[in-house]
A and B are shown apart, each in its own frame.
Chain A
């Protein structure tokens, strides 16, 4: 290859000014890193969804009290998540977050077991929301359940 270059002075690999070539390489390299950063940063930020700030749900209406028979329950939206309101055999109303503490499925009331159950991975909660069997690691969050003019109102405990 070296012999090819004899007589072709236009193809010398040696720059006339090595210092200047190095400086330009360094500038181009920095330029490229900068451009990469200018692309990567907005793309990374774009991938993370923006937080939508909503007023935290403090209380919701959960339907009429007289239509909720003893030993049954009702699922209602509580903001973005479900809540479960249970009428005990004694007639007492209790409300909990409807999201299972294991892997966030929505729980249901099992009249045959007389407690709360999650179908996804067989998690069981008693009627105080305590995790009593299966994989759930924590109790369900408990809400206040009150009745105002036959309307059930569930609210976050303060």
Chain B
């Protein structure tokens, strides 16, 4: 055993890695709870990879077979209902955890220098997560997914000049058909995982490299008290707490999947009317409600274009936040207010949509 260790240590930087792990610490203060959210998102991602691979063994990506293959997984394959429900629930919890992670990082100002690239890679990962959700939603080829995809892929059509080619590219043709399903399948199981591997690797390396950010308020308190902020060794103390959180999340997933198994709905019919009460996944609801209440034309511009323009500006603004925030106490207050307005807007629009919106 000692011989094997020596042999490996001569070929790999084992001692350096062991020393780094032993020295890794996590700051301990009243906001430390939020440090667990990134790890929680990562856990749900791991669940997605594992259950996704299992689903691949039976799923068939064609308009003729997709719905029936998912039905087969849920009714005939042993524990198929469990695997598929966990995949759907975990997807939703992953988006939820990622959003909480985003806003906690934002409020704690962890995006400040030198963590700009960590923030940008994290924002890109959030967009990728939403793309995973959007492409995965279509794969069972049911009625809700079909219309959600018709609407979702039609949205870029409002962009001047490149809109129409972009819609054709996304759909694999002018309409949402079996060609769209195969395309989304390829994006969902190959393209997005490849991009995620690179971005997630970068994000995690940067988190290790810079260590955990200490919020400015905690830093100021420590300076006033004249003593440093206490820390906790990552191994074993923080890691065990992380692990405990993950087992709770796993129990939650099992409970949700057992008691509220994910429904399959009815098979998509390309020539049926969109059913009343149709809605996208909850994390797209606020966008959906915004598109619903914006009138056909705003100051002579097509309403859809106005809504998409506003959302795009918001998205670019939040990605570039570390460069827009001059890192003064005043700017921090402004960022907190803007973030709170965004949260209230998103929650209010979501609730409005859930209550039926404008009918």
- Which chain A residues have a beta carbon within 8 Å of chain B's beta carbons? 47-49, 52, 75-77, 80-82, 98, 100, 102-108, 118-122, 131, 134-138
With A120-B151, A135-B304 known, 19 other A-B pairs at CB within 8 A are A48-B165, A49-B179, A75-B273, A76-B271, A82-B273, A105-B147, A105-B151, A105-B274, A106-B147, A108-B274, A118-B274, A119-B274, A119-B275, A119-B278, A120-B147, A122-B358, A134-B292, A134-B295, A137-B304
B54-84: which residues lie under 8 A (CB-CB) from chain A? none
Q: Which residues on the A side are within 8 Å of B272 (C-beta)?
A: 75, 106
Could you name 9 residue pairs across A and B whose Cβ atoms are closer than 8 Å? Answer: A49-B168, A103-B304, A106-B272, A119-B273, A119-B274, A134-B296, A135-B295, A136-B296, A137-B297
Contact between B169 and A48, CB atoms less than 8 A apart: yes
C-alpha spacing A76/B272, complex, angstroms: 8
Q: How far is the CB of A129 from chain B (nearest CB, A)?
A: 14
Task: Say yes or no: is B303 at the interface (Cβ < 8 Å to chain A).
Answer: yes
C-alpha spacing A52/B178, complex, angstroms: 14
Q: How far is the CB of B148 from chain A (nearest CB, A)?
A: 9
- Which chain B residues have a beta carbon within 8 Å of chain A's beta carbons? 147, 150-151, 154-155, 165, 168-169, 172-175, 177, 179, 270-278, 288, 291-297, 302-304, 357-359
Contact between A75 and B302, CB atoms less than 8 A apart: no
C-alpha spacing A117/B219, complex, angstroms: 57
Contact between A120 and B302, CB atoms less than 8 A apart: no
Q: Within the complex, which residue of B172, B173, B304, B357 is in contact with A102, where a contact is CB–CB below 8 Å?
A: B304
Contact between B296 and A131, CB atoms less than 8 A apart: yes
Interface centre among B169, B304, B359 (most CB of A within 10 A): B304
Q: Within the complex, which residue of B155, B276, B288 is in contact with A119, where a contact is CB–CB below 8 Å?
A: B276
Chain B residue at minimum C-beta to C-beta distance from A48? B169
